[in-house]
Amino acid sequence: MSKGRRSSKNGPTRRALLGGGAVLCTTLALPGIAKSQPGPRRQQPETGPPPVVFVHGNGDSSALWINNLWRFEANGYKRNQLFAIDFIYPSARSDDSKPQPLRSSAEDQMKELTSFVVQVLKATRRRKVALVGSSRGGNAIRSLLKNGGGADMVSHAVLCGTPNKGIVISDQLLVGSEFNGAFPFLKGLNEGPDDLIPGVEMMAIRSDRNDKYSQPDGRFIGAPGKPTGVSYDASELRGARNVVLEGLDHREVAFHKLAFAAMFEHITGKPPGSMFIAQEPLPILNGKVTGLSEGVYTNIPVAGAEVEIFEVDARTGERKSAVALLRKTTGEDGVWGPFVGRADAHYEFVLRIQGLPTTHTYRSPFLRSSDVVHLRPQPFAKADEGAGAVTIMSRPRGYFGIGRDKFSLDGKVPPGINDGVPGVSMGRLAFDAVPPRTVMAVFNNETIPTRTWPARDGHIVVAEFLN
């Protein structure tokens, strides 16, 4: 699976080599656990690997962990041992010390994660969990371990692309930010000779030079040409096991199959037996609708959202029937399902929320069941003004790398996708409103057919890649 072990003053580093395929599964939504497992529980003997809690990054949701959850399950984990938190306000404050509407402080996230872990321990009757965090999610993990007594609840911690040293170390850039190593939050976490927590097996997974938030130049924080005070190793943990995945970007070091292989081996003590995708013929899909307010996404459920699902032609994206396979208006919990699909089918999800664009999301086939198929509305951008129709290709679990990846929208590379270090996860094109037509989105081995919908009537289209 991986070779080339080397040592450094910051602990051993492994460079992983490509191999294997992928497998898919589902996860538990924690609110349901409290209902199905009420009251005190006797602690079970510690047998087998610990339950795993996945912790998403800045502005994200648990939906990004779908591949990791599937692969853990494919390698022996039970569905009721896999969990993924949804922070209520996933986006960080500009200045961590100052309240900001719809955003959270580092302390907010630490407290929310602590509560979640306590619930998981009660539900599973286990003494400790393993925590896996992407980007900002690793900040919450480190804070829980160092400031919140988390070592009593956590056996393993895996931080993926977490800016442990900071995106910057500066008194001029990102002043007061949780991500600035010169300010109190990270300064406190980084005190001492190393980043280890007694009793917790610590690992960091990082890119070699391809993480846009571990760069000596401030290009990706809006300050091109200005030094950040950090370098390519900003995501390393001092004294811990550090895994370098060459060529992967900031998000891929959490969601790529190689990242899965590294985290699985760290937690279980053995490499995964397979990364092949084993299909369930009739996957059961579910998730929740969450909202957008003042340009900021939250993970607060949206009531009154209308959701429709249509099966579409795999070549053209045209609906196979005018009758929706599912039509539902969400309740207070925001849940839009369940929906029994087919593993070989392409689907169009239509989301209507009052006051926001009607979002048509076209997806690759779902090969296995999942409870984290969350739906978010897609707003129009300033660049969309005057467009007859707008189609977006979106890669939530990675960025588009020119020269590294094969990707296109309607046969073109959309404008705004940068050269060099991959730094953009979305590309968009405008089309005529009529006649409606097929637009193909391609990313490596994924091809998603979409149809244009008129922007003047408030419709916007997203092709969302799974990988």
pLDDT by residue (tens digit) across 332-356? 999 999 999 999 999 999 999 999 9
pTM: 0.91
Query: What is the rounded average pLDDT for all residues in the chain?
Result: 91
Whole-number Å distance between alpha carbons of 311 and 373: 16
**pLDDT band of 37, cuts 50, 70, 90:** very low
Contact 394, 465 (CB under 8 A): yes
Q: Report d(CA 313, CA 315) in Å as an integer.
A: 5
* For residue 91, pLDDT beyond 90: yes
Distances from the Cα of 328 to the Cα of 113, 186, 305, 351, angstroms = 31, 44, 8, 10
Instruction: Name the strand (E) or helix (H) holding 3.
Output: strand 2-6
Measured in whole angstroms, how far is the alpha carbon of residue 275 from the centre of its chain? 19
Q: Burial, 258: exposed, middle or buried (Cβ in 10 Å; 0-12, 13-18, 19+)? A: buried
pLDDT bracket for residue 40 (50, 70, 90)? very low
Q: Which of 393, 390, 413 is nearest to 403 (CA)?
A: 413
Residues of the chain with CATH 2.60.40.2190: 284-464
pLDDT at 317: 98
Residue type for 266, please? H
Compute, in degrees rounded to 10, the torsion defined by CA atoms 141, 147, 148, 154. 50
CA torsion angle 413 418 419 422 (round to 10): -100
C-beta contacts of 190-196 below 8 A and 24+ residues apart? 190/164, 190/165, 193/238, 193/239, 194/237, 194/238, 194/239, 194/240, 195/142, 195/164, 195/237, 195/238, 195/239, 195/240, 196/237, 196/238, 196/239, 196/240
Q: Distance (Å, rounded) from C-alpha 225 to C-alpha 229?
A: 12
**CATH classification of 284-464 is 2.60.40.150, yes or no?**
no
pLDDT at 9 (0 to 100): 36
Q: For residue range 375-432, what is the model confidence (pLDDT) as tens digits?
A: 999 999 999 999 999 999 999 999 999 999 999 999 999 999 999 999 999 999 999 9
Question: Which tens digit of pLDDT belongs to each residue from 106-142?
Answer: 999 999 999 999 999 999 999 999 999 999 999 999 9
Please name the amino acid found at residue 305.
A
- pLDDT tens, position by position, 145-174: 999 999 999 999 999 999 999 999 999 999
* Angle, helices 136-147/106-124, rounded to nearest 10 degrees: 80
Q: What is the identity of the amino acid at 461?
A: V
Q: What pLDDT does 17 receive?
A: 29
pLDDT (0 to 100) of residue 127:
97
State yes or no: cis peptide before 51, omega within 30 of 0.
no
Average pLDDT of the segment spanning 241-253:
98
Radius of gyration of the CA atoms of the chain, in A: 22
φ, ψ (nearest 5 deg) of residue 120: -65, -45
- The string of pLDDT tens digits covering residues 262-301 is 999 999 999 999 998 788 999 999 999 999 999 999 999 9
Sequence-distant (6+) residues with CB within 8 A of 25 are 69, 70, 71, 72, 73, 74, 77, 79, 82, 368, 369, 370
- Range(s) within the chain of domains with CATH label 3.40.50.1820: 2-268
Pick among 3.40.50.300, 3.40.50.1820, 3.30.360.10, 3.30.830.10: CATH of 2-268? 3.40.50.1820
Q: Which of 44-53, 90-99, 396-405 has the lowest mean pLDDT?
A: 44-53
The average pLDDT across 51-71 equals 97
Going edge to edge, which strands form the sheet with 438-443? 407-409, 438-443, 446-451
Give the model's confidence band at 1: pLDDT under 50 very low, under 70 low, under 90 confident, else very high.
very low
pLDDT of residue 279: 87
- pLDDT for 144: 98
Of 282, 287, 220, residue with least CA distance to 464: 287
Cα–Cα distance between 103 and 299 in angstroms, integer? Answer: 11
pLDDT of residue 45: 57
Cis status of the peptide bond prior to 435, with omega within 30 of 0: yes
Position 5 confidence tier, pLDDT thresholds 50, 70, 90: very low
Query: What would the two tokens of residue 264 be?
Result: 């699985």
Secondary-structure breakdown of the chain: helix, strand, coil percentages, each rounded to the nearest 5:
20, 30, 50
> So what's the pLDDT on residue 59?
98
The confidence band for 46, taking pLDDT boundaries of 50, 70 and 90, is low
